[in-house]
A and B are shown apart, each in its own frame.
Chain A
Amino acid sequence: MTQTVLALVLGALFALGTYLVLRRDVVRVVWGVVVMSQAANLYLVTMGGLSGSVPVLEGHGFEGLTDPLVQALVLTAIVISFGTTALALVLTYRVYQGHGTISMEELGAEVEP
């Protein structure tokens, strides 16, 4: 049950993230990237095994344990995505200040000489 729900949630999150990344609005793109990296984090947690079996101990007679390793990994990943999200948001602000637009298309048009 948990697995089905989480699989659906993950699918929805990745779909939402992808949709947002493809938008023209820079802020939406940043949101999309944030949703995607959070989806990746959630995915990472599920990879520890939801049924209580731990990949590193599989077949060794340990049952009903949750893998602590993926949680440590996710903690690292969350901190990293927190930092990069902050940077991306500041950049968005600076882009708006400098160009007066947050449309990816208008920004792209300025780049080519």
Chain B
Amino acid sequence: MTDLVIAPLLVALATAVLSLFVRPFERLRAGVSLAGVAAYAVVVAALASEVLAGGTMTYQVGDWPAPFGITLVADGLSAFMLALTALVAVPTAIAGLRQVSERAQRVAYHPLFFFMLVGVSGAFLTGDVFNLFVWFEVLLMSSYVLVVIYGDPETTGATLRYVALNLVGSALMLVSIGGLYAVLGTLNMADMSRRLAGNAGVEPAAVVPALGLSAILFAVFALKAGVVPFHFWVPEVYRAAPTPVTAMLAGVVKKVGVYAMIRLVFTVFGGAAIDVSLPGVTGDALGFYGPVLFALAVASVALGGVGAVGRDDLPGLLAYSSISQVGFILLPVAIAATAGESVQVLALTAALVYALNHAVAKSMLFLVVGVIEDAVETVDMRSLGGIAGNAPGLGAAFFVGSLALVGIPPLSGFFGKLLIFDAAVQADALLALAAALGGAIFTIAYTSRAWNRAFWGDAPLSVEGMAPDRVVVGIVLLMAGALVVIGVGFDPVYRFAEAGAHAALDRQGYVDAVRFANATATGGGH
């Protein structure tokens, strides 16, 4: 059943190609999109259950043995991220049918949506660094066109900056990958991991230059994740893109950056035998990345929170909020990198649970904003008000999503925050605790501000006559329900996230699962 590993990729790719041909036919292309995304969810669910039951699965593309060919690896972490993707992609695809203009749907929206899904799935599944670059490019290129799909002057300027920034990022990523290949002699992540750890039969590689080169890679991942100080593109792009696209960007594409950071720091460099002797930094590669992650996370939480409080438009507020929330995801990752092994699993579990919560809640909030934009034709809070009274469904969904971001029981966000605080306390990371607490207060401030100004109060005429799209309102209510269900039936979600955390930390398991062609071929010589 190892073919299942490549199934999410193939399903998304086949749907993307098929939807190229059915673009002119409105019903047919909607049917293809819905069937494709449903099939994607089904194969992801099958893959996830298989991985949870039977452990890590690998697929050698073209039957080339590792480390010479490209290896796809589906472990607990990949499976968790794929499940998160499917959970966001299904409602977003349905909402896209209603919220994206007919012309954009006819031109390119559907194939691009699925090509982006191909890129995301590939990035989560690949076990090869250069292949990761290729999947990044696939998803970025689709996202460029998806952001600019309406082609009006407001979006072209924002997209041009987004494209230029990411092209520089891609060039840097290539530089880093080339350097890593020259130093380590391999691009396979499992092979890199065991060479860095200096395992038996493999020569200990030049770890210090590899670590320095990986820092460039890390910066590129941080750019994709939109954490401070690489956050400046986020508000502009999120505002320019059509809302279903923003929902995917904020819900899923950001998490690709977070996932890649976790993979790089823990799976590839987790066991690197190195003595770092910089001021304030001691120990191994994790000791090197821990403080960096911590600084990025705290800065993101703080700056994102402050930015969100000061915004008057709903998309801008949500965009700054996602900068802050990615900080919340990285905070436990930083704790996991610095704290002892006993806290590592708990901290990474917290990060994954929070990533899931943010993905569902934030993409739902962006869809709500999309409905408001279509029905009222403004998203400026100064000219909104009383939406909760005039569109109770929208109000309820926004309310639940806000509470999930704040972390009120029994929603999924509560457990995310609880686990983060738990990990911070157990690791004695008082600074992290303070940052999380301060960030939570900011979250309460900006969500209640949005609620008070847009959803309560006197409704202007435009809001009183609003006719929200019933289908999308139904979808956002279902997503709000999902947030409640994840919170109430939290145990299986927790176990899934814990399996993901174990997979991220189990370097030996990852290396073993890749099954190199000949254990001595790369080290012992013929």
A residues contacting B by CB (< 8 A) are: 17, 21, 26, 29-30, 33, 36-37, 39-41, 43-44, 46-49, 55-56, 58-61, 69-70, 73, 76-77, 80-81, 83-84, 87-88, 91-92, 94-95, 98-99, 104, 107-108, 110-111, 113
Contacts and interface: CB of A to CB of B under 8 A. Distances in A.
B170 to A, nearest CB: 7
A92 B160 contact: yes
Contacts of B185: 55-56, 58
Nearest to B239: A111
A59 B429 CA distance: 46
Given A44-B178, A99-B153, A91 B171 contact: no
Interface string B174-188: 110111011011110
B239 to A, nearest CB: 9
Given A36-B171, A55-B185, A84-B167, A43 B178 contact: yes
Contacts of B134: 76, 80
Contact of A33 (B167, B179, B313): B167
B156 interface: yes
Contacts of B525: 59-61
B488 interface: no
B53 interface: no
23 contacts: A37-B170, A43-B174, A43-B175, A43-B178, A55-B182, A55-B185, A56-B186, A59-B203, A59-B525, A69-B187, A73-B130, A73-B177, A77-B133, A80-B141, A81-B170, A88-B164, A91-B156, A91-B160, A95-B157, A98-B152, A99-B153, A99-B156, A110-B157
Given A55-B182, A70-B181, A99 B157 contact: yes
Contacts of B445: none
B17 to A, nearest CB: 17
A49 B178 CA distance: 11
A111 B158 contact: yes
Interface in B152-205: 152-154, 156-161, 163-164, 167-168, 170-172, 174-175, 177-179, 181-182, 184-187, 203
B157 A111 contact: yes
A88 B160 contact: yes
B526 interface: yes
Nearest to A96: B156
Q: Which 6 A-B pairs have CB atoms at the shortest separation, nearest pair first? A: A98-B153, A55-B185, A47-B178, A40-B174, A44-B178, A40-B171
B472 to A, nearest CB: 25
A70 B148 CA distance: 33
Contacts of A49: 182
